[in-house]
Amino acid sequence: MTNPAAPALTLNRQQANQVTLESARSLLRSDQATQFSQAIQVASQVQPTDPLYKQAQADIARWSTVIMDLAHGRSTSGDWTGAISTAQTIPPVNQAIYRDAQTWISRWQQLIQQRDVNLQQIQKARRLIRPNQANSYRQAIDTNKAIPAGQPGYELAQELINTWSLEIWQMAQQRASRGDFQGAIAAAAFLPENTPLYTQAQTTIALWQQGKKSP
């Protein structure tokens, strides 16, 4: 026998669901992850047996995705700490997106660790520099070369390698300008190989070996 009260109960539940979802949506006043997180928590009150459960889950998935988009935006700008904080606001409601967030959080934590290690390496290289000592510049260059391509800090390391290589070359040129060709050649010997500056320097070094200044 059909329960005559069932349609009314369904309508009441639907109305209650609608109020819940509207309450959740009203929290979204800006692109702040915490507001989307609060909205998700409110929408998760809609139960699997409720009329608007599918709608609630769709909203939760969409808002969870928005939070991840915000996190990725911060990651792209190099703000991995901010990306982690943002992704951590995703409640474990939509399990697929939540697991994805945890995976990314782990990756960003690794990047932060790599960055810290590499920045320490760069600081170590900087401390090796001694004015007018070409060998100290080469030691610093070799120290920075240990930072692998693609890791945080690599671009800075390469920039410093180029700067220090140029300073070695300028040091060599200054010695040659004073007629100290042996000193110039000795300094130029510390230029890192397989670089455009090293290749360009070979012609000038050949002149110094003949006791001639560069043109």
The domain locations on the chain are 1-116, 129-215
Q: What is the pLDDT of residues 120-157, one digit of tens each?
A: 999 999 999 999 999 999 999 999 999 999 999 999 99
Measure Cα distances from 141 to 14, 32, 148, 152 in Å.
68, 43, 13, 17
The identity of residue 23, as a single letter, is S
Q: Which residue has the tokens 């995976």?
A: 103
Label residue 81 by pLDDT band (50, 70, 90). very high
The mean of the pLDDT values for the chain is 91
Q: How far is Cα 83 from Cα 86, in angstroms, rounded to an integer?
A: 5
CB 168 within 8 A of CB 138: yes
pLDDT tens sequence across 154-201: 999 999 999 999 999 999 999 999 999 999 999 999 999 988 889 889
Q: Which two tokens stand for residue 103?
A: 């995976």
